[in-house]
Amino acid sequence: MGGLDDLYQQLILDHYRSRRGRGRIEGASASVHENNPVCGDECFLDILVEDGRIADIRADGDGCSISQAAASMLTEVARGKDLDEALDLVEHFRLMMHGDAEPDEDLLGDAVALEGVARYPVRVKCALLSWLALRDCIAEYRETTAMGGR
Amino acid sequence: MGTSAHTALDARALRAEFPILAAPRPGGGQLHYLDSAATSQKPQRVLDAMDAYYREANANVHRGVYELAAEATERFEAGRDAVARLVNHPREATVLTKNATEAINLVAWAWGARELSDGDEVLVTMMEHHSNTVPWQLVAQMTGAVVRFCPVTPEGEIDMDAMRAMIGPRTRMVAVVHVSNTLGTINPVREIVAMAHEAGALTLVDATQSVPHMPVDAAAIGSDFLAFTGHKMCGPTGIGVLAATPERLRAMEPFLGGGEMISDVTTEGSTWNDIPWKFEAGTPPIAESVGLGEAVRFLEELGPDRIRAHERHLAQQMLDALDEVPGVTVFGPRQVERRGAAVSFSLDGVHPHDIGQFLDSKGVCVRAGHHCTKPLMRHLGVQSTARASAYLYTTEDDILALQSALAECRQWFGVA
Ligand SMILES: Cc1ncc(COP(=O)(O)O)c(C=O)c1O
């Protein structure tokens, strides 16, 4: 049973049962919709950018405990970051999920609890869904603002 | 066939013939493999037949003049004979493909891409596997044909009134699944084939989930095409079957071009080999045909009617066991006469992925996801389900293990 405890740490189950940052943002600066082709889970991610920082971030959609907890943790840790910091954060998380980086708790906050997911290759996609959605969301924001400037 | 259904299968004893099921689990206890709808386990005798082929008779088929090549050809063609006999179909119209998906693509491309035109209709159902949807969508894109989806009732059966209404003068092909891999529903394919033929349409039956589990008589079904796959019927991966009417195959142009499928090749053009080889370009799945032939003999010795009786019994046990777990919703027909032993379900408050992961820690293998039936998932209003599916080696122990693991799962995720 050790394996299961390792995967489903208490913190993950907590975030799953009480999601933070859930919902949509009206008048979002950028939005993306991603889905996990393995299971059909969906993630809607909205960000509100003010002065180059993520003033608000919300994730919506249904999914497994891992994907929902990961989204919940993401919204907590990404809120208030500037866009480059947020991208670094996503990249660090991605590396951790692929077993290529030691988790940095200061950077990741509660999301370090997802470290054990790296040992379950099919579940890595679940954890990454919302985080990669943020990367795409920032790219979309930059693309649309590049034309008109900020 | 011919074995009577009087004596029940002894699934517990049969497990000993399957190395993966006979082996003890690392943590102790036995493996509860409830994912045979995805692929079946393989009995030792199938592995032995393939091994013996490589050790004793390996050579390329058809083209060699030497003894060894003749032996390889004989074993390869014997696989075709066995599978044709199993479904009561002429051997020359039994084409060996890579899998069921390729068999359906063969029809979509060799027939559909040439014969369909703007506004023609291909009618499928809402419960098709993607392999009986996407090939038609691809060909429709190219030809201007339209793919229509017959709805499924809340009980998980094809809406036959809608089917009747949707088959019309523009319908050129009706392609339906015999047994749904997601809902377990056994569809009235004979009736559907008759309706389609009356309207002048061709028919394809996806028998991937029926041939492994019950007697299937291609002649009695009467469809123009019947497709299934080797790896779900105790055979190896890499081989599938398209049983078509000989006339239709003769009239069709080839699907893939290359060696083996030609009669003559000149710089001006080529002519085609006889059926079925006209549709088997390149070196075929030789060892796989040998393995499939052995799998067929295994199924014949057990008796498809006895396998079906065993699974009907298991389906009832599974439905009863799931009903006892609070928060479980079962999809698909309730009466076991109308369904196979693949049962999709959801559990309130626990995502199918988490169910699958938790059950795995208890040695219970189930599938979680959309089961390659996304239109059906949308129709049911769910993103995914968990699915437990039984086969000839499944025992009541497996189902009890599923039930108790589900009860524990509820506690673990705090929904109990
Ligand atoms: C109903 C049905 N049709 C077709 C297929 C495709 O089989 P294969 O992947 O072997 O081509 C499957 C397998 O999942 C199936 O369940």
Residue B375 Cα to ligand 1 midpoint, Å, equals 15
CB contact under 8 Å between A39 and B369, yes or no, is yes
pLDDT at A7: 85
Amino acid, res. B369: G
How far apart CA B186 and CA B337 sit, in angstroms, is: 8
Spell out the SS3 assignment of chain A: CHHHHHHCCHHHHHHHHCCCCECCCCCCCEEEEEECCCCCCEEEEEEEEECCEEEEEEEECCCCHHHHHHHHHHHHHHCCCEHHHHHHHHHHHHHHHCCCCCCCHHHHHHHHHHHHHHHCHHHHHHHHHHHHHHHHHHHHHHHHHHHHCC
Q: At what angle do helices A65-78 and A10-17 cross, to 10 degrees?
A: 80
Of B269, B300, B331, which residue sits at a domain end? Answer: B300
Ligand 1: distance of its center to the CA of B289 in Å?
Answer: 18
The chain B residues in contact with chain A (CB within 8 A) are: 351-354, 357-358, 361, 368-370, 374, 377, 383-384, 412-414
* Same domain for B121 and B267: yes
Ranges in chain B, pLDDT < 50: 1-3
Cα–Cα dist B372/B206, whole Å: 14
Residue B204 belongs to domain with CATH number: 3.40.640.10
Mention the CATH class of domain A2-146. alpha beta
pLDDT value of residue A4: 83
CA atoms of B5 and B56, how far apart (whole Å) = 37
Q: Calculate ∠ Cα A66-A68-A73, nearest 5°.
A: 95
Ligand 1 site residues (CB inside 6 A) read B 99-101, 129, 131, 177, 181, 206, 208-209, 229, 240, 372
Q: What are the pLDDT digits (tens) for B55-77?
A: 999 999 987 889 999 999 999 99
The answer to whether residue B283 sits within a structural domain is yes
| Ligand 1 atom nearest B229 alpha carbon | 10
Does B244 lie in the same domain as B180? Answer: yes
pLDDT at position A150 is 46
Q: What is the pTM of this model?
A: 0.92
Q: What ipTM goes with this model?
A: 0.82
**Confidence bin at A5 (pLDDT 50/70/90):** confident
At B69 the pLDDT is 94
Q: Write the pLDDT tens digit of every residue in A77-126.
A: 999 999 999 999 999 999 999 999 999 999 999 999 999 999 988 899 99
Whether residue A65 and residue B413 make contact (CB cut-off 8 A), yes or no, is: yes
Give the pLDDT of residue B106. 98
Q: Confirm whether B1 is domain-assigned.
A: no
Identify all chain B residues contacting A44, using CB atoms and an 8 Å cutoff. Answer: none
Same domain for B155 and B135? yes
Element (H, E) at B51: helix B44-52
- Report the C-alpha gap between B379 and B402 in whole angstroms: 27
Say which DSSP state B339 is in. B
- Centre of ligand 1 to C-alpha A37, Å, is 17
Ligand 1, atom 16: closest residue by C-alpha: B181
Gap between the Cα atoms of B100 and B107, Å rounded: 11
Residues B389 and B248 in one domain: no
Tokens standing for residue B88: 């009561």
Co-location of B158 and B206 in the same domain: yes
Cβ proximity of B234 and B40 under 8 Å = yes
pLDDT digits (tens, 9 = 90+) for B255-280: 999 998 999 999 999 999 999 999 99
What pLDDT shows up at residue A74?
A: 97
Distance CA B239, CA B65 (A): 26
Token duo for residue A1:
């049973």
Identify which of B104, B129, B344 to mutate to test ligand 1's pocket (most ligand atoms within 8 A of the CB): B129
Residue B158 shares a structural domain with residue B200: yes
| Structure confidence at residue A3 as a pLDDT band (50, 70, 90) | confident
Residue B311: which of B215, B403, B237 has the closest Cα?
A: B215
Q: Are B186 and B215 in contact (CB under 8 A)?
A: no
Query: Which letter does DSSP use for residue B8 in this model?
Result: P
H or E segment and range at residue B314: helix B304-323
**Residue B327 is assigned to a structural domain of this protein:** yes
The verdict on B62 and B120 lying in the same domain is: yes
Total structural domains in chain B?
A: 2
Q: Are residues B230 and B315 in the same domain?
A: no
Same domain membership, residue B24 and residue B165 = no
By residue range, what is the domain housing residue B326? 11-30+303-412
Same domain, B285 and B315: no
Residue B40 lies inside a defined structural domain of this protein: no
pLDDT at residue number B6: 66
Query: Where are chain A's structural domains?
Result: 2-146
Q: What is residue A2's predicted lDDT score, i.e. its pLDDT?
A: 52
Give the nearest partner residue to A63 out of B351, B370, B377, using CB atoms.
B351
B6 occurs within a structural domain? no
| Distance in angstroms (rounded) separating the CA atoms of residues A135 and A30 | 11
Q: Please give the backbone phi and psi of residue B3, each rounded to the nearest 5 degrees, phi first.
A: -65, 135
Provide the pLDDT for residue A41. Answer: 80
B351 inside domain: yes
Q: Is residue A149's pLDDT more than 80?
A: no
Residues B60 and B91 in one domain: yes
Q: What is the pLDDT of residue B222?
A: 98
Token pair of A150 as six digits:
């900020």
- Domain identity same for B331 and B291: no
> A47, A57 in Cβ contact below 8 A?
yes
